[in-house]
Amino acid sequence: MIDLAGARTLFYKEVLRFWKVSFQTVAAPVLTAMLYLLIFGHVLEDHVKVYEQVGYSSFLIPGLVMMSVLQNAFANSSSSLIQSKITGNLVFLLVTPLSHWAWFLAYVGASVVRGLAVGAGVLLVTVWFAPPGLAQPLWALVFAILGAALMGTLGLIAGLWAEKFDQMAAFQNFIVMPMTFLAGVFYSIHSLPAFWQAASHLNPFFYMIDGFRHGFFGVSDVSPWLSLAVVGGSLAIVATVCLRLLASGYKLRH
| 138 belongs to a structural domain | yes
Helices vs strands, H then E, count in the chain: 12, 0
Where residue 3 falls among pLDDT bands split at 50, 70, 90?
Answer: low
Distance CA 142, CA 225 (A): 12
At 23, phi and psi to the nearest 5?
Answer: -60, -35
| 101 belongs to a structural domain | yes
Q: What is the pLDDT of residues 47-71, one digit of tens each?
A: 566 666 677 788 888 999 999 999 9
| 66 belongs to a structural domain | yes
3-class SS at 100? helix
Distance CA 87, CA 90 (A): 8
| 128 belongs to a structural domain | yes
Q: What separation, in Å, do the N-terminal and C-terminal C-alpha atoms of the chain show? A: 25
3-class SS at 150? helix
| 160 belongs to a structural domain | yes
| 57 belongs to a structural domain | yes
| 253 belongs to a structural domain | no
| 254 belongs to a structural domain | no
For a pLDDT cut of 90, what percent of the chain falls above it?
54
pLDDT, mean of residues 160-166 = 90
Q: What is the pLDDT of residues 64-91, one digit of tens each?
A: 999 999 999 999 999 999 999 888 888 8
Which residue range is the domain that position 70 belongs to?
A: 4-248
Domain count, the chain: 1
Average pLDDT, the chain: 89
Question: What was the pLDDT predicted at 205?
Answer: 94
pLDDT of 228 higher than 60 = yes
pLDDT of 110 higher than 90 = yes
